Amino acid sequence: MTKRNVAMHVAKIGRRYKGKTYESYYLRRTYRDGKHVRHITVANISNLPLNIIEMIRDSLRGGTYVPAEKTFQICRSLPHGHAAAVIGTVRKIELDKLISSRPSRERDLVIAMIAERIIEPQSKLAMSRCLRKETATTSLGQILEVEDTDEDELYEAMDWLLSRQQRIETKLSKKHLRNGTLVLYDVSSSTYTGNHCELAEFGHRKKGNKKGFPQIKYGLLCNADGCPVAIEVFKGNLSDTLTFKKQVRKIRTRFGLKRVVAVGDRGTITSARIREDLDSDDGLDWITALRAPAIRKLAEQKNIQMSLFDRRDIVEITSPDYPG
């Protein structure tokens, strides 16, 4: 009886038929029978994916495969996509260069705070922990190389940014405002719960503000598309109409615009402001809303025909009370 030394291998068989090449893979057992080498096909593995066939081939040659989870251990993985998207957009619109043309530590910290407000708004203390290498929650600190910051340095960066506010607003006005353009303006307010703010005062409370707390006001100036150009913070007891007066001065002097159309609501552009600040300025026109008593008066004077609104949402009327 012939003794058989059995060995296994993967055989690749190719054949051509009508100009095409076909390949088949077989798992075969090989043994010697006297002076002859014999092959026995154990299985046809042609239908298996090529990577599996190669694994079987290498294993039969003595190779060893270990599952990835047993070879590699993931110690830490920081979310990256959203942070990279925000920073990429900041650099694409050149917001970093708008803040400061020269790279600096302060600029990187400001960009980090802007990105964090988009990704996950939180306090400066919590943010510093999210940036720090040991407690990071995203790759933001690594991208901007500010992993060693703390909350005090973030506040110092905000002070640095405040000192550059007028320069930044001037750049924005040159980019987004032109003579003859619309300038949108609105005022809002927020309650203040601290103890050391010289602008926090009790005043007319807007909807959503907490009762029993002082407030601060802020006015936002935008171009016709709603892109912010300038912002200013006021005392909480300052009238909305008086904040508008300061914006008129800013538009005319600092931004150097000779002709603009100011758009505001009925709380900012009032009859008094029109009479005192706008009518005397040849280059400044305005668009605002009328209060209910003024609309009622126009209807009683037959200047407004209410039936006009049955077919259209907008009509143009003239009245001696509103010249121009």
| Same domain, residue pair 266 and 200 | yes
Containing structural domain, residue 104: 81-163
Which of residues 230 and 304 earns the better pLDDT score?
230
In a domain, 75, yes or no: no
In a domain, 155, yes or no: yes
**Region 249-254: what's the mean pLDDT?**
86
Number of domains in the chain: 4
| Same domain, residue pair 270 and 300 | no
| Same domain, residue pair 118 and 128 | yes
| Same domain, residue pair 128 and 56 | no
| Same domain, residue pair 151 and 223 | no
| Same domain, residue pair 183 and 283 | yes
Q: Are 27 and 46 in contact (CB under 8 A)?
A: no
**Region 132-161: what's the mean pLDDT?**
94
In a domain, 173, yes or no: no
In a domain, 224, yes or no: yes
88 exposed, middle or buried (CB, 10 Å; 0-12, 13-18, 19+)? exposed
**Tens of pLDDT, residues 40-62:** 889 999 899 998 998 888 888 88
In a domain, 95, yes or no: yes
Q: Are 275 and 281 in contact (CB under 8 A)?
A: no
**Tens of pLDDT, residues 7-43:** 788 989 888 888 888 889 999 988 888 888 888 889 9
| Same domain, residue pair 278 and 254 | yes
In this prediction, residue 141 carries a pLDDT of 94
| Same domain, residue pair 192 and 150 | no
| Same domain, residue pair 186 and 232 | yes
CA distance 260 to 170: 16
In this prediction, residue 159 carries a pLDDT of 96
